[in-house]
Amino acid sequence: VVEQDVGALRRHIALIGFMGAGKSTIGRDVARLTQRRFVDLDEEIERRHGPIAKIFDERGEPEFRRIEEEMAAGVLAAHELSVIALGGGAVGSTKTQDLLRARALTIWVPVDVETAWRRAKDSDRPLARDEGRFRALYEEREEIYDIVADASAADAEAVLLESSRIDFRVGALALLGKYVESPRAVLVVDERVLSLHPVKWNAPWVELQGTYTVPPGEDAKAVAVVERLWHEISLDREGTIVALGGGSTTDVAGFTAATYLRGLRWIAVPTTVVGQVDASIGGKTGIDLFTGKNLAGAFHFPERVVIDANVLSTLPEEERRAGMAEVVKTGLLAGRDVWSLPEEDMLRACAAFKSAVVLSDPYERGRRKILNLGHTFAHALETGSGYTVRHGDAVALGLVAALRLSGQPTDVVEEVLKPQPVRADRDAAWAALKRDKKGEGVFVLLEAPGRPVVTNVPDEDARKALDELIAK
């Protein structure tokens, strides 16, 4: 099995960079959003050994570096995955560098020297007492950061995207091969997407062994499609599957990657809003069976997610609406009006939030369940209507039901998504909801925007909320 060690999934998130870069502020935000422990190495040192300025003055810099190295080793060796802000000089130690390589995704938070000096000059930092020395140190350290870092990120959102290896790049479809880190690859692509968007490999050093189309949309998520891919693809263990299309394509290609040769690397290049904010992120892959959706699948995290917002230009209106339903869901969970941001910012904010939730609970043992907000009702409506209700419309209605049960206003959902009651068989919808819950009446509700809770709802309340979504 290919080791699933993507981004910060099984590693600490370590922030490095010069003093005054904002590592502690960013680190605190990332820790809150990923629900990981936050460690500010300088604060830890001061807690244990007293003020850093005093250590420098009384015991000298080499002794401070020794303490710093020892404490960094302790923090990096800890089993509990953490977000760690390291002091500006901590990465000078080769021992710390080795530990970072083994135990952390190391992200460089850049800062220009003017800003750094402005922020540091009035602090009691021992290395910010003399401007000339400060500037020389800056030059010296920048080189080390560049060598040690796996990535660089200027704010919490960028750190979260890097932590799931999500790359926003306009024009990515013209250089797909450049994202592949193995010698061979195949492309699995939605037939319609391929006809609409010119795709260029542009990486002669990676052999493209074949391009395999899958049917547009949900039809791709079939046993027969996976079976065909298993037989037609002839990659070895060093191969990568690149999936280009909406959630249906990334689900089936990711599942093929999870199962072929017991697991190949794969890269998701989502082409729908649903794909870019949700389906391609978080490692859930799978296909549908005759008995229901997503019934055969695996957690198999993409090595990278490459998002080119330009490909959305051809997306049909109803697909965009389906995506906006997920965007509104994300905004409600995050407590941010993400739907009113410019498109690319909106996509980034949603992708970063999903990354944070997944990093806090990759295999959905707890918190990740919040991402189901509104979805239980949506599935019930889809089943109760014999799948004539579109998924996005069902999710919009599901959000209305969840907000009503939460005692929260529904105006945002009404304004952005304009949901209308749909035709569905009430008893069939209720039966589907009960089946989905497997006898447990547990739902995701919102105490307030940004404060989701997983809680019990009595049957009669849930049934009433469901009934209100169905046209008279």
Ligand X SMILES: NC(=O)c1ccc[n+]([C@@H]2O[C@H](COP(=O)([O-])OP(=O)(O)OC[C@H]3O[C@@H](n4cnc5c(N)ncnc54)[C@H](O)[C@@H]3O)[C@@H](O)[C@H]2O)c1
Which residues, including other chains, have CB under 8 Å from residue 203's CB and lie 6 or more apart?
175, 176, 177, 178, 180
The distance of closest approach from Cβ of residue 277 to ligand X in the complex, given in angstroms and rounded to an integer, is 9
Q: What is the 3-state secondary structure (H, E, C) of 313-365?
A: HHCCHHHHHHHHHHHHHHHHHHCCCHHHCCHHHHHHHHHHHHHHHHHHCCCCC
For 152-185, give the DSSP string. Answer: E-SSHHHHHHHHTTEEE-TTGGGGGGGG--SSEE
The distance of closest approach from Cβ of residue 1 to ligand X in the complex, given in angstroms and rounded to an integer, is 19
Please name which of 78, 73, 79 lies closest in space to residue 91, comparing C-alpha atoms: 73
- For residues 354 and 281, is the Cβ–Cβ distance under 8 A? yes
Joined tokens for residue 402: 């969840």
The distance of closest approach from Cβ of residue 282 to ligand X in the complex, given in angstroms and rounded to an integer, is 5
- For residues 143 and 92, is the Cβ–Cβ distance under 8 A? no
For 269-307, give the DSSP string. Answer: EE-SHHIIIIITSSSEEEEEETTEEEEEEEE---SEEEE
**Cβ proximity to ligand X, 157 vs 308, nearer residue:** 308
Q: What is the C-alpha separation between 225 and 387, in angstroms, rounded?
A: 21
The distance of closest approach from Cβ of residue 195 to ligand X in the complex, given in angstroms and rounded to an integer, is 9
- For residues 271 and 217, is the Cβ–Cβ distance under 8 A? no
Please name which of 95, 93, 99 lies closest in space to residue 77, comparing C-alpha atoms: 99
Length of the chain: 472
CA distances (Å), origin 155, targets 17, 33, 231 = 13, 13, 44
The distance of closest approach from Cβ of residue 316 to ligand X in the complex, given in angstroms and rounded to an integer, is 6
**Cβ proximity to ligand X, 48 vs 435, nearer residue:** 435
The distance of closest approach from Cβ of residue 298 to ligand X in the complex, given in angstroms and rounded to an integer, is 11
Q: What is the C-alpha separation between 166 and 168, in angstroms, rounded?
A: 7
- For residues 361 and 368, is the Cβ–Cβ distance under 8 A? yes
**Cβ proximity to ligand X, 22 vs 245, nearer residue:** 245
Which residues, including other chains, have CB under 8 Å from residue 214's CB and lie 6 or more apart?
188, 189, 190, 191, 220, 225, 229, 245, 248, 249, 252, 253
**Cβ proximity to ligand X, 61 vs 218, nearer residue:** 218
Mutual angle of helices 391-406 and 375-384, in 10-degree steps: 130
**Cβ proximity to ligand X, 309 vs 413, nearer residue:** 309
What percentage of the chain's residues is helix, strand, coil (to nearest 5)? 55, 20, 30
The distance of closest approach from Cβ of residue 135 to ligand X in the complex, given in angstroms and rounded to an integer, is 48
The distance of closest approach from Cβ of residue 68 to ligand X in the complex, given in angstroms and rounded to an integer, is 41
The distance of closest approach from Cβ of residue 255 to ligand X in the complex, given in angstroms and rounded to an integer, is 9
The distance of closest approach from Cβ of residue 154 to ligand X in the complex, given in angstroms and rounded to an integer, is 28
**Cβ proximity to ligand X, 193 vs 324, nearer residue:** 193
The distance of closest approach from Cβ of residue 224 to ligand X in the complex, given in angstroms and rounded to an integer, is 16
Residue numbers at the binding site for ligand X (CB under 6 A): 190, 192-193, 196, 216-218, 221, 245-249, 251, 271-272, 274-275, 278-279, 282, 284, 293-294, 311-312, 314-316, 319, 322
Q: What is the C-alpha separation between 119 and 131, in angstroms, rounded?
A: 12
**Cβ proximity to ligand X, 27 vs 270, nearer residue:** 270
The distance of closest approach from Cβ of residue 52 to ligand X in the complex, given in angstroms and rounded to an integer, is 45
Greatest Cα pair distance, the chain, in angstroms, is 80
- By the 10 Å C-beta count (0-12 exposed, 13-18 middle, 19+ buried), 60 is classed as exposed
